[in-house]
Structure 1
Amino acid sequence: MNYFVGSYATSPAWEQWDAEAEHAYFAQLKAMPNLQGLEHPFTGTLHPHDDDWFIANVSPDWQFVFTCVPGTMGALGKNPHFGIASDDEEGRQAALDFMRTACDAIGKLNQGLGRKAVKAIEIQTAPNRSQASGSAKSLKASLATMLNWDWHGADIVIEHCDAFTPDHAPAKGFLSLEDEIAVVSELNQTQQANLGILINWGRSAIETMSTAGVLAHIEKVKAQGLLKGLMFSGVTDQESPYGIWKDTHMPAAKNPSVAFGAEHSLLTEQEIHRSLAACGNALTQDSIIGIKLGVRPKDADLESRVGYNHAALTMIERFFK
């Protein structure tokens, strides 16, 4: 198997642009033999700082999965009604405008690389329902519109984020997995679409406050034939630099067989393997499998940034051997 890395989460140049540091980081990523490509953050333009630099510096062989979560969270910080599942029509239309620019950015990257380079776009069912109204009906309307666009070969995939629950304060608070499954299933049937759902390990753990909850989410999506992939981000229930039950992309836990790991992370190698096993035959060479890991301290050196990614990929790879 080959994997995707959400490289922006461990990038030395994400918060403050540094082309030289990013070039050195990409050079290390290009040396990874089992890297299929990048989970790439969409914030409103192809690259947050320099589209042309990005096209010139990525590997000509990489595939890409766009994720809209950074741009979505940024928009929600300005307008809590923003989102493709928003019941506020202005907020929903603003989210559709944002998605349209993402569609255009996919076309620009394909044109720059001279091929269909984007495998999928991960979209999220904002808004945060603890702050604004969102519904399956609004999500269905938005997706019906988006299915009429030319996505330049990219599949539309809902990345399930932690749903709103009255039991505890949410990290994202978006639609329930059941609502997402219902809408996707209906549109696949009525419009012959190829929509699917991706599980983010850390966000499902945050929603259910358990590692078993991740397995339950995988099983629900798999049972409907909608599982498009699994991205691993960690989380912890203990005091740590990553916070308690926070969506900070905590790395996988330390173990004797890898050089890098985060103390108290619930994302152990055993849990990684349990989750992959739960996917069963839904996992194929076409599935999106990967990692999105943050790093602490935030001024960590390049060796650590690459090392956390390499360690997590090694854990995943051992499952398939």
Structure 2
Amino acid sequence: MKTILAAYATAPVADDWQPELQSQYLDGVKQLSSIRGIEHPFTGQLHPHDDDWFLRNIDPAWDFVFTGVPGIMGRLGKNPHFGIASDNPEGRAEGVAFYQQMRAAVHKLNAYLGRKAVDFIQLHTSPNRTGSVSSVASLVESLKEIQSWDWDGAELVIEHCDAFVEGAQPEKGFLTLEEEIQAVVEVNRACGCEIGLSINWGRSALETRSVQGPLQHLQAAREAGLLRGFMFSGISDQDTPYGVWRDTHMPPAEIFEGGNFAEGSLLTAEQMKASLEVADWSSLDFLGIKIGVRPQDLGADARVAYNRDALAALDSFTKA
């Protein structure tokens, strides 16, 4: 199985839009032969800065998994009630409208490539419960509408983010996995659709403050018959450049000598192997890597190297 790379999470950081630097980075990503495509961030239009630049610089053979997290987090900063699980009517309506914008971007990308290149849409169950109220009922109503649209071949999954846990500081604070499963089962039954779930290793570890969390979430999603995708991101319980229990997509701990990895990461070789086994990885629709890097001023080539080594680590476990 060729993997999905969330290349945007490792892209060069700059105070302003620098297309030449970003092109250099993507040119390096194109050389990574072990990927089938990329996870693409949606903020309100196909590309945050320049749709035409994006279309010129992607590999036309790539497949795509869309994620709305960057756009959602930006909107939550302005409206804490924003999201498809919101019990606030205006907030929920804005959340649904956001996915209508994403749908238009999917059609634009597919039309440019002349094929149905977008495989999956990852939905997210905002708002953050520390500042708003959300529910299964609100999510069900939103999903019923969203699944009825023409997604031009793309399938829908809810990517589970860290849920609100009493007494813990959340990064996302969205619905629990159990609530998301309940909503998806209800909508699939009522509408005859096949919405699924995807799990991010680091976000599940963050929610549970434990390396057992990802295994528990993978098992629950599998037992519900809904697990479609799995992305590896690391996290740390130590004081590292990536923070303590922060959703910064930390690279794995050292998997092989001489590689680009991150000291203090809880995502070890043992954890990757165990998670792949619980996920029954060969039956997944997509499997991938999503890492950020530190320090922030690393150059484009170094950033590609981190992705190359994380992908090599994953390949070593899935091809063993």
Query: Please, what TM-score do these two structures have when normalized by structure 2?
Result: 0.97
2:267 maps to amino acid = L
Q: Which residue of 1 aligns with 2:302?
A: 304
Task: Tell me which residue corresponds to 1:273.
Answer: 273
Q: Report matched runs for 1:1-321 at 5 Å.
A: 1-12=1-12, 16-280=16-280, 283-284=282-283, 287-321=285-319
C-alpha displacement at 1:283, in angstroms? Answer: 3.4
Q: Give 1:6's aligned amino acid.
A: A
Q: Aligned partners of 1:88 and 1:260: how far apart in 2? A: 45
Amino acid at match of 1:292: K
**Which runs of no fewer than 5 residues in structure 1 stay unpaired?**
none
Partner SS state of residue 197, structure 1: strand
Superimposed CA distance per residue, residues 16-52 of structure 1 (whole angstroms, 9 cap, x where no aligned partner): 3211111111111111111111100000000001101
- The Cα offsets for residues 161-201 of structure 1, whole Å up to 9 and x where unpaired, read as 00011031111100010010011111112211110000010
Matched letter for residue 290 of structure 1: G
Cα RMSD of the aligned pairs, angstroms, is 1.2
- TM-score between the two structures when normalised by the length of structure 1: 0.97
How big is the shift at 1:258? 4.7
The separation in 2 between residues aligned to 1:101 and 1:166, in whole angstroms, is 33
- Partners of 2:28 and 2:301 within 8 A in 1: no
- Is the 8 Å Cα contact of residues 10 and 293 (structure 2) preserved in structure 1? yes
**Counterpart code for 1:271:** Q
Please identify, of 255-264 and 45-54, the stretch whose mean Cα deviation from structure 2 is larger.
255-264
Deviations along 1:242-285, one digit per CA (max 9) or x if unpaired, are 110000111111244351001100011221111111012x633x
How many residues get paired? 319
- Contact 1:159/1:198, CA 8 A, preserved across alignment: yes
Provide the rounded CA distance (Å) in 1 between the counterparts of 2:148 and 2:136: 19
Matched residue SS, 1:283: helix
Cα gap change, 1:220 to 1:102, in 2 (>3 Å)? same
Q: Whole-Å Cα distance in 1 between the matches of residues 16 and 77 of structure 2?
A: 19
Task: Give the fraction of aligned pairs with identical amino acids, expressed as a percent.
Answer: 49
Deviations 1:195-225 (A, max 9, x none): 0000010000000000111100000000011
Contact 1:3 1:290 in 2 (8 A): yes
Instruction: Indicate if the aligned counterparts of 1:8 and 1:14 stay in contact, CA closer than 8 A.
Output: no
Change (3 A) 1:55 1:76: same
Corresponding letter in the other structure for 2:289: I
Shift of the 69–117 alpha-carbon distance from structure 1 to 2, 3 Å rule, reads same
Shift of 1:63: 0.3
Give structure 2 stretches of 5+ with no counterpart: none
Alpha-carbon distance between aligned partners in 1 of 2:82 and 2:187, rounded to the nearest angstrom: 22
Distance 2:113 2:301 in 1: 29
Give the partner amino acid of 2:69.
Answer: V
